[in-house]
Amino acid sequence: MAIDLTYDPDVRGWIDRTRTFTREYVLPIEDKFLGDATAAGGDDLRREMQSAAREASVFAPHSPVEYGGGGLSMSDRSPVFEEAGYSLFGPIACGIGAPDEGNVHLLAHVASRPQKEQFLAPLARGEVRSAFAMTEPAPGAGSDPSALATVATRTGGGWTVDGHKWFITGADGAAFFIVMARTSGAPGDRGGATMFLVPADTPGITVGRHIGTLDRAMIGGHCEVTFDGVFVPEENVLGAVDEGFTYAQVRLGPARMTHVMRWLGAARRGHDVAVARVAERKGFGHRLGDLGMVQKMIADNEIDIAATRALLTHACFELDRGNPASNETSIAKTFAAEAVFRIVDRAMQMCGGMGVSDDLPLARLSREVRPFRVYDGPSEVHRWAIAKRAVGAARRAAAASSPSVQS
């Protein structure tokens, strides 16, 4: 069967419009504020840019059509998100930034009709922001989600949630949280988690300190959040009780790939800036782009960009077919998280002193892409999972090929 890697005219339109909007409207704003979304105005900036995105017909390419979005598949989102990611503010402007983009995906697949009307509809339209509350301080859930310590206890007409979360992206100013809490078992057990939809103004929720991190382009911080006797009515259980870890995979695999899409766009910008500079900058009697050491860095960047796209394309193809794509997304995420940093780091090196200054965007791009090796599962955990699957497959193959024992 032939594999068609072309895009239909509608998707091509999304790509072209997003490229123009990002480069002509969004990039100047990012450059003015050196990629710091809070300094640029936070939610006021978001609302202003999203209004412009709607006018340009580039808002919410991923959201369901019934809620005003483009309804693009994972494969079709990829080049569109990459174009938006060319600016660190592009995902905010187009309504495709974390964590809202992942939450739209999760709600579209799991939420009931009333839940979609209450939570998904305003989120998809960009009227509100949201947060995904899963990560906890040690020894709670982090890279090991089974360590989940936040608990939800049945009470009259619903549940009471108690727990301490941190590194909750976008928590400050979010309209609601998707909270992962344990409803059965104990920390360390593989199952027993449930997701809850919790409005941010529910009594008992406290959004605490903003944890200082390298990145500056996400609105609402990475915050500590406590849930102290928070009541959640039964109708706000997302999906089925005790199936939270299953639903987490509905969100996390695609969300890892959309991170790859966005940060690949950022890395491409860094590469473009560096190549444009070394193509003209002279030193040692030559243009820098004609020197072998610089050419090696350019070529390595081109290879990393192409390889990242290829792995991303394969993972999105599997997701669009309805497969879990756990291995494909782990491989793509691990490679991309390291590749985008290599790309930006080489770009900085090619530009010398200018590369580490605010005169070019490279230093801030480096600051933004470095955490990707930690966010959404560190590279080490993904490598461990990839290796476990490979070894498990080998053992199953060996067992299947062994001659049966005759009694």
Q: Residue 280 falls within a domain, yes or no?
A: yes
Strand 176-182 and strand 130-133: the pairing is parallel
Q: What is the pLDDT of residue 2?
A: 62
Pair (140, 205) in one structural domain:
yes
Question: How many structural domains comprise the chain?
Answer: 3
Rounded distance, CA 26 to CA 91, Å? 10
Specify the CATH number for the domain of residue 379: 1.20.140.10
Q: What is the pLDDT of residue 190?
A: 85
Residue type (1 letter), 217:
A
Q: What is the pLDDT of residue 258?
A: 98
Q: Are 193 and 183 in contact, with CB atoms under 8 Å apart?
A: yes
Q: Are 246 and 323 in contact, with CB atoms under 8 Å apart?
A: no
Q: Residue 364 falls within a domain, yes or no?
A: yes
Q: Residue 57 falls within a domain, yes or no?
A: yes
Structure tokens at 192: 């027993």
Specify the CATH number for the domain of residue 170: 2.40.110.10
Q: Residue 405 falls within a domain, yes or no?
A: no
Q: Residue 66 falls within a domain, yes or no?
A: yes
Q: At what angle do helices 292-320 and 326-355 cross, to 10 degrees?
A: 150
Q: Residue 199 falls within a domain, yes or no?
A: yes
Pair (296, 343) in one structural domain:
yes
Pair (82, 137) in one structural domain:
no
Q: Residue 216 falls within a domain, yes or no?
A: yes
Residues 6+ apart with CB under 8 A from 154: none
Pair (206, 309) in one structural domain:
no
Helices and strands (DSSP H and E) totals, the chain: 13, 10
Pair (255, 229) in one structural domain:
no
Which residue, of 226, 242, 258, is where some domain finishes? 242
Rounded distance, CA 89 to CA 131, Å? 18
Name residues of the chain where pLDDT drops below 70.
1-2, 404-407
Pair (249, 235) in one structural domain:
no
Pair (307, 384) in one structural domain:
yes
Q: What is the pLDDT of residue 402?
A: 80
Pair (264, 388) in one structural domain:
yes
Q: Residue 106 falls within a domain, yes or no?
A: no
Q: What is the pLDDT of residue 407?
A: 43
Give the range of the structural domain holding residue 204, as residue numbers without chain letter: 130-242
Which residue, of 194, 221, 242, is where some domain finishes? 242
What distances in angstroms separate CA 27 from CA 35, 91, 126, 146, one per listed residue?
Answer: 9, 12, 20, 41
The 10s digit of each residue's pLDDT in 282-303 is: 988 899 999 999 999 999 999 9
Pair (195, 147) in one structural domain:
yes
Closest to 148 in 3D by CA, of 157, 156, 139: 139
Residue 230 has φ and ψ, to the nearest 5°, of -80, 120
Rounded distance, CA 186 to CA 322, Å? 31
Pair (356, 255) in one structural domain:
yes
Q: Give the 3-state secondary structure of residue 5.
A: coil
Pair (252, 221) in one structural domain:
no
Rounded distance, CA 47 to CA 173, Å? 13
Structure tokens at 247: 């639903």
Q: What is the pLDDT of residue 404?
A: 60
Element (H, E) at 84: helix 74-84
Which residue, of 213, 242, 271, is where some domain finishes? 242
Rounded distance, CA 384 to CA 392, Å? 12
Pair (135, 86) in one structural domain:
no
Specify the CATH number for the domain of residue 52: 1.10.540.10
